[in-house]
Amino acid sequence: MVGQRTLDPYVEVRILCPQHEETQPGLRLFVCSGGIIAADVSQPLFFEGERTCMKLHEYQSKQIFARYNIPIPRGRVAATADEAKQIAKELGSRVVIKAQVLVGGRGKAGGIRLARNPDEAAEMAAQILTMELKGLPVRKVLVDEAANIETEIYLGITNDRQARKPVLMASAAGGVDIEEVARTTPEKIVKVHIDPLLGLREYQTRDVAAGIDLPREHWRTFAQIALGLWRAYVDCDATLAEINPLVITAENQLLAVDGKMLIDDNALFRQPSLAEMRDLDAEAPAEIEARRYGLSFIKLDGDIGCMVNGAGLAMTTMDIIKLFGGAPANFLDIGGGAGAEKVAAALRIILSDPNVKAVLFNIFGGITRGDEVARGIVAALNEVKSEVPMVIRLVGTHAEEGRRILADAHMITAETLVEAAQKAVAAARGGVA
Ligand code: GDP
Ligand code: MN
């Protein structure tokens, strides 16, 4: 089983409902490189791309870019106004003070300011360091030598899921309004697909340069930057590498003024130095907790918490809940052989969602013994006290003994999944199960 952040919906199929001729539109299956996972279509979990990835800060992205010969402004990060002042002094020029938070549109939100001297730099850094941008606190600012910007270009690489290839995108209309450009005048964005085996070819960078009317004198540097961006994208297992804006300065130089990278979570095991860069401020506490315990967890919109061992069983559980008119609050696979500690962590995570009105445990005892799971659940319930009704369906190895333990602990037990789902839906509606 793979986690939420590893998805690549190459194939999408609808689940056939056992009691209906037609397909069940509530759920979709996503088949990805490492496994299968379900998603509630009412929530576009996987189409934003960002939710399946770890975001890097601008300064981190730009440090990576620099290693690939992409020109970036001189500068460093600061955590205090004094540090910002010191950096501005060292740079000896006008500087930009830039909030390092994992949100877009910092400029428009007031998180980017130009300072003419070190005192101004200190003042602005002090201001920005007390700000919250879109709910996230600013803990660091990047102090960069200010660029004299003549032209702002957009340059980015991401995966084109439809084409099943990476795509290089560029636009002469770069800068803070690129989303608007993409929406209203998409023809202003030039794209070339990259063959993953051949990699980005230099002639392709010239096609793009021509496509955005980049003056010819910049083509060589533009190629170097685009090829560097491609190598960074590949080497870092990125799902997005973006420079917006890539500017032409008054001195006629190309310079990457902003940088953004998203790293595929599924690759972090082989990217330890990138994994260390994770900024927990930007993540939901439930997801951090789930990752810590090795749980595959996806939050959904419904009110029935699900705790299941096995991904396929978890999908079936969600599907059956839908079938009986309920809505799952989450996808959660506790994995095989989960002990009390893991069960307790999973329960804490499920119950941390205020929408949850009932919890459905669906456990199949294979190698995992039912009585052990039951003891784990009871231990977890002793630790995580809750008034939320809990329905348990337990089958397989040592299931009877397990059910006895659970019934003694005053939990609602069920023998079949259908019965369990009906009871959970009733319990969530406040009815008697
Ligand atoms: P974003 O708003 O989060 O995308 O942050 P950016 O780093 O892209 O900055 C937003 C805008 O601020 C850019 O599009 C530029 O117009 C402006 N800006 C950023 N850095 C500089 C700089 O060094 N000099 C000047 N003059 N403008 C800058
Ligand atoms: Mn930007």
Q: Does domain 74-146 have CATH number 3.20.20.100?
A: no
Establish whether residue 101 lines the binding site of ligand 1, counting it when its CB lies within 6 angstroms of any ligand atom.
no
Q: If we measure between CA atoms, which residue out of 336, 388, 283 comes closest to residue 51?
A: 283
C-alpha–C-alpha distance, residues 116 and 96, integer Å? 9
In testing the pocket of ligand 1, which one of 176, 181, 244, 249 has its CB within 8 Å of the most ligand atoms?
A: 176
Closest CA to 81 of 93, 97, 70: 97
Query: Taking the chain, what is the end-to-end CA distance rounded to the nearest angstrom?
Result: 32
Mean pLDDT for the chain overall: 86
Highest mean pLDDT among 22-26, 72-76, 293-297: 72-76
Percent of the chain residues past pLDDT 90, beyond the cut: 65
pLDDT band at 16, cuts 50/70/90? very low
242 within ligand 1 shell (Cβ under 6 A): no
- Backbone phi, then psi, for 72, in 5-degree steps? -125, 160
Higher pLDDT, 401 or 410: 401
Q: Determine the distance separating the centroid of ligand 1 and the alpha carbon of 55, expressed in angstroms.
A: 19
Q: Which of 143, 258, 260 to mutate to test the pocket of ligand 1 (most atoms within 8 A of CB)?
A: 258
Mean pLDDT of 3-17: 36
* 216-234 CB burial, b ≥16 within 10 A, e <16: eebbebbbbbbbbbbbbbb
Q: Are 189 and 167 in contact (CB under 8 A)?
A: no
Confidence check: pLDDT of 368 > 80: no
pLDDT-wise least confident of 110-114, 144-148, 345-349: 345-349
Q: Is residue 332 within 6 Å of ligand 1 at its C-beta?
A: no
The DSSP symbol for 404 reads H
Ligand nearest to the CA of 257: 1
Q: Can you give the pLDDT at residue 407? A: 87
Whether ligand 1 lies within 6 angstroms of the CB of 141 is answered as no
Q: Inform me whether the pLDDT recorded for 312 exceeds 50.
A: yes
Q: Residues with catalytic annotation? A: 154, 242
> How many beta carbons lie within 10 A of that of residue 304, not counting itself?
28
Please give the share of the chain, as a percent, with pLDDT higher than 70: 87
Give me 6's structure tokens.
């590893």
- The architecture that CATH gives domain 284-428 is 3-Layer(aba) Sandwich (3.40)
Q: For 274-293, write each residue's pLDDT tens digit.
A: 999 998 887 778 888 888 88
Check if the beta carbon of residue 238 is closer than 8 Å to that of residue 261. Answer: yes
- Indicate the helix (H) or strand (E) that contains 371: helix 370-383
Q: Whose CA is nearest to atom 9 of ligand 1?
A: 107
Q: Alpha helix (H) ranges present in 218-336?
A: 219-235, 272-275, 285-292, 311-323
- Enumerate the domain spans of the chain: 2-40, 74-146, 149-274, 284-428
Task: Tell me the pLDDT band of 432, cut-offs 50, 70 and 90.
Answer: low
pLDDT at 110: 95
Decide: 105 in ligand 1 pocket, CB within 6 A. yes
Give residue 337's pLDDT: 67
Q: For residue 136, which amino acid is it? A: L
Q: What is the pTM of this model?
A: 0.71
**Better-predicted residue by pLDDT, 28 or 389:** 389
Q: Give the per-residue pLDDT at 28.
A: 40
Ligand closest to Cα of 144 equals 1
158 pLDDT above the threshold of 60: yes
> Ligand 1: does its nearest atom lie under 6 Å from the Cβ of 152?
yes
Q: Whose CA is nearest to atom 19 of ligand 1?
A: 257
On the question of pLDDT at 391 being above 90, the answer is yes
Is domain 149-274 classified as CATH 3.30.110.30? no
